[in-house]
Amino acid sequence: MRQPSPSAIERVRSLAATATPTAAALADNPDTCFNVRGAVDHAGRVLLWVAEHHPLHEAVREGRRTDLGPRVDIDLSALRRVGRLSTVRARMWCQAGLAEVPPADRRSAALAVWEREPDEALLAAAKRRREPGAPVLLRAVVHRVMYHTYDASGLIEGSAFALARPHPITAPAEEIIGRVNDRYRDELARAVGRVRGAPRGAAWLWELDARGATVWVGAADGTGAALVRIPWSRPADAACQLERAVFDFLADDGPQEAADAASTRHRRCRRREGPAGG
């Protein structure tokens, strides 16, 4: 039985919202990769923060006579901490056209990068009139995305990727994941242990969305790790409902079937109510 999950494009778009660029190469010289820093903005464009004379910036300046700018290949990685290690839960390879961020958009672009890479040097890159020697913000419009996760892979055309949006609860979900993995892993392991057919072992919350949770379980018998999908009884429409679904699952004492685990009891949220703090 297929477990309730987001569509592939919604899942990948939400993963991209939490991912960071790690490397980039010019399409006409793919063997030369550059380490990059940046983020993905609200419209699905990849933002890169580079030094003024970085090869990617030089390519943009040389390619300003064309409408589309230089073609680049960009690697994105979405990480998840498992124990003391950070592991890649999703990789995306973007084929894109690169250009400098227009002056009017530099501040919003710098703020998007700041969420991933807080650095005072971004203040210089955010100015409408950039000073000589200041870092540069570049923006890549995605033409095609190839993705690979532990349980899926595929290709998404750039037009569809740009039209998609991360699910509104993506950011709160990341906060809840961090809190559960930091403070409630024993409860999580016990809850997953009640799911019939699930392996027993150390557990970490891996993915969390409106339709359910995916838990990484390192089997105690040494047979390796497994991903266990825990569907909600109905989609969570707000961050407070998502939080309740997670903690109802952690607190439930009854055995659960893998196909309909976590029959959480969503209650309507009050308007002023939001995710609880740590």
On the 0-12 / 13-18 / 19+ scale of CB atoms within 10 A, 230 is buried
Query: Could you tell me the pLDDT band of residue 144, with boundaries at 50, 70 and 90?
Result: very high
Q: Model confidence over 68-119: pLDDT tens digits?
A: 679 999 999 998 877 777 889 899 999 999 999 999 999 999 999 998 888 8
Burial 19-58 (b: 16+ CB within 10 A, else e): bbbbebbbeeeeeeeeebbbbbbeebbbbbbbeeebebbe
Q: Which amino acid is at 155?
A: L
The CATH number corresponding to 170-251 among 3.20.180.10, 3.20.20.70, 3.40.50.1360, 3.40.50.970 equals: 3.20.180.10
Tokens representing 55 are: 């090869």
Res 256 pLDDT > 60:
no
Q: Assess whether the region 8-163 and the region 170-251 belong to the same CATH fold.
A: no
How does residue 243 score in pLDDT terms, banded at 50, 70 and 90? very high
For residue 241, name the pLDDT band (cuts at 50, 70, 90). Answer: very high
Residue 207 has pLDDT above 60, yes or no: yes
Q: What is the 3-state secondary structure (H, E, C) of 108-152?
A: HHHHHHHCCCCCCCHHHHCCCCCCCCCCEEEEEEEEEEEEEECCC
Question: Mean pLDDT, the chain, as a whole number?
Answer: 83
- Percentage of residues of the chain with pLDDT beyond 70: 85
pLDDT tens digits, residue range 218-228?
Answer: 876 666 788 89
Query: What's the fold here for domain 8-163?
Result: Pnp Oxidase; Chain A (2.30.110)
Task: Return the bridge partners of 175, or none.
Answer: none
**Of the candidates 274, 192, 271, 265, which has an alpha carbon nearest to the alpha carbon of residue 225?**
192
Q: Could you state, in order of their start, the residue ranges of all structural domains in the chain?
A: 8-163, 170-251
Query: Sorting pLDDT into bands at 50, 70 and 90, what band is 32?
Result: very high
pTM for this one?
0.80
pLDDT for residue 258: 45
Confidence of residue 278 (pLDDT cuts 50, 70, 90): very low
